[in-house]
Amino acid sequence: MSHIPAFGLGTFRLQGQVVIDSVRNGLELGYRTIDTAQIYGNEAEVGEAIAASGVARDELFLTTKIWVDNYSRNKLVASLKESLTKLRTDRVDLTLIHWPAPDNGVPLEEFMSALADAKTQGLTRQIGVSNFNIELTKQAIAVVGKDNIATNQIELSPYLQNRKLVEFLGEQGIHVTSYMTLAYGKVLKDPVIGAIAKRHDATPAQVALAWALQLGYSVIPSSTKRENLASNLLAQQLPLTADDMAQIAALERNGREVSPGGLAPVWD
């Protein structure tokens, strides 16, 4: 059974000193899960911040993602070793295929088996996928087995609840990691979420994160502000009522924020 921590720190779009500060603040506040990716261009800075923090490697859960340029069998493992060098560690805890990229010329079977090889070599403790639809997840399962897919990290927010895919992943025992849980901040202005936040003396961000956590998903919100990093963590102690959850469920509107051409699958 895979183990993916419920709460982590995302680093998408954060670079240079900004990401160093965010990771440093996060670690000081008690975050122990850090999510990065080769394409973010910040693995070295994340590694620098971790090294400076003095937090023991064994206390941390590090995730990175293989970029599409590195999917071929002769590149994937080498690219992950490069990521490890940047992160200043001998292994990550989770490595994901970042996007299915159906048209990039590397068959799914090739990159999934190369990813499994990385695990066999001890470069990563667990492997998984990101942005895979049901059909592609089935294909990945056929290559490595469902027990070897620790998570599917997908865009998932109150506005994009992805119920068909989530149901399928649940049937397969594949954990859901939600990214963009706040829909680029759009849900923070939502009147329904605002009213729930008011009732609980919480922030809208805490409500949206608590909603995802209560559904059993992992979340990886990012922030450049220390007070928001601290505030987000408190979502873990925010119990929402059945009525709150039902009101948020009703916000579904297929509000997808991210779907890059050539990389994204046909969504369910």
CA distance 175 to 149: 8
* 8 A C-beta contact, residue 31 and residue 60: no
Task: Report, at the CATH architecture level, how domain 9-249 is classified.
Answer: Alpha-Beta Barrel (3.20)
Say whether pTM exceeds 0.75. Answer: yes
Report pLDDT for 41. Answer: 98
pLDDT at 89: 98
Choice among 40, 159, 179, 217 that is catalytic: 40
The DSSP symbol for 34 reads E
CA separation for the pair 159, 156 (Å, rounded): 8
Question: What's the pLDDT at 2?
Answer: 65
Which tens digit of pLDDT belongs to each residue from 30-57? Answer: 999 999 999 999 999 999 999 999 999 9
Pairwise CA distance, residues 258 & 252, whole Å: 16
Q: What is the pLDDT along the chain (268 residues), one digit of tens a residue?
A: 569 999 999 999 999 999 999 999 999 999 999 999 999 999 999 999 999 999 999 999 999 999 999 999 999 999 999 999 999 999 999 999 999 999 899 999 999 999 999 999 999 999 999 999 999 999 999 999 999 999 999 999 999 999 999 999 999 999 999 999 999 999 999 999 999 999 999 999 999 999 999 999 999 999 999 999 999 999 999 999 999 999 999 999 999 999 999 999 999 9
Q: At what angle do helices 242-249 and 191-200 cross, to 10 degrees?
A: 170
DSSP state of 239: P
Is 40 catalytic? The answer is yes
Q: With helix as H, strand as E and coil as C, how does 163-189 read?
A: HHHHHHHHHHCCEEEEECCCHHHHHHH
Q: Which of 38, 51, 42 is nearest to 17 (CA)?
A: 42
175 annotated ligand-binding residue? no
- Chain segment 81-132, per-residue pLDDT in tens: 999 999 999 999 999 999 999 989 999 999 999 999 999 999 999 999 999 9
- Of 133, 220, 233, 126, which is closest to residue 177 (Cα–Cα)? 220
